[in-house]
Amino acid sequence: MPINHDAVGTVEGPRSRTWDHDDAILYALGVGAGMTDPTGFELEFTTENSEGVTQRVLPTMAVVLQAGGMNLAALGPFNFAMMLHGTQGITLHRDIPVAGTLQTTTTVTGIYDKGSAAVVENEAVTVLADTGEKLFTTRASLFIRGEGGWGGDRGPSGPKNAAPERDPDLSVTYTTRHDQALLYRLNGDRNPLHADPVFAARGGFDRPILHGLCTYGFTGRGLLHLLCGSDPSRFGSMDARFASPVMPGESLTVEAWRTEEGALFRTRADDSRVVLDSGLFTYR
């Protein structure tokens, strides 16, 4: 049966979370910071005690730092092996501290019937617990195969933020580790799709795939270096669609085209297939 489309408007939270410099380092390593960066070890993101270096936080850590998330129970029962990440967006209202306590409130903002699947959208607002200052806002959609068909609104469709038909203005290539998913999952996403071959096979994959948010993190890290001078305080917002799964060990090439407002971007894997598209990036 289709999922509960009356879950639109469901609010979860506020929920609290405390983090410290170790969490920030683990996230940075999980999205390839250090050895895989062609410019060096990115010590400002991967260490807390290097002489002359002040630790900072990669902006895309927002996607794992928010407290809790959407109340999936409100959607009713469904096969988790059929759920894929559709889109992800973040807006940073300030740079993320290396330690603190935050509170997150998440709202289901839309559920759409795509016929063969359901798309569930949500938005989460995160504030610093001690001051109430807005820290970041995240947006996401889940693509749940086999859960459509109830005759509901199909929602927005069609390509957005398409990459221009010309060479990118800027690009950078990173190589993921063969155990990248096993490292990234320590940030909190223990979905067995990314670690268990048996579970991955139930979802139609011959082996565990890389987390979409890990690909997103590699991409955001590349955009930070390409467009923001590696300064997290200049990072504004980043929205993209997950176009194809990535296997751990593949290389990721981030391509960006400058615009008046920021940049359009996409990410390609080893065989030049697009794995992240419809990318829109803004920066200060």
Q: Please give the positions annotated as active site.
A: 189, 194
Reduced to 3 states (helix: H, G, I; strand: E, B; else coil), residue 250 is: coil
The tokens for 74 are: 């409100």
Q: Where are the beta strands (DSSP E) in 190-246?
A: 235-242
Q: Is the dihedral of CA 119, 120, 125, 129 positive or negative?
A: negative
- Spell out the residues 6+ positions from residue 207 whose beta carbon is closer than 8 angstroms to its own: 197, 200, 247
Reduced to 3 states (helix: H, G, I; strand: E, B; else coil), residue 256 is: strand
CA pair distance 279, 259, nearest whole angstrom: 12
CA pair distance 180, 133, nearest whole angstrom: 34
Question: Is residue 212 a contact partner of residue 85, using CB atoms and an 8 Å limit?
Answer: yes
48-54: Cβ within 8 A, 24+ apart: 48/21, 48/22, 48/98
CA pair distance 115, 173, nearest whole angstrom: 37
CA pair distance 44, 224, nearest whole angstrom: 13
CA pair distance 187, 2, nearest whole angstrom: 31
For residue 75, give the DSSP letter: G
Rounded to 10°, the helix 212-227/21-30 angle is: 100
CA pair distance 31, 213, nearest whole angstrom: 9
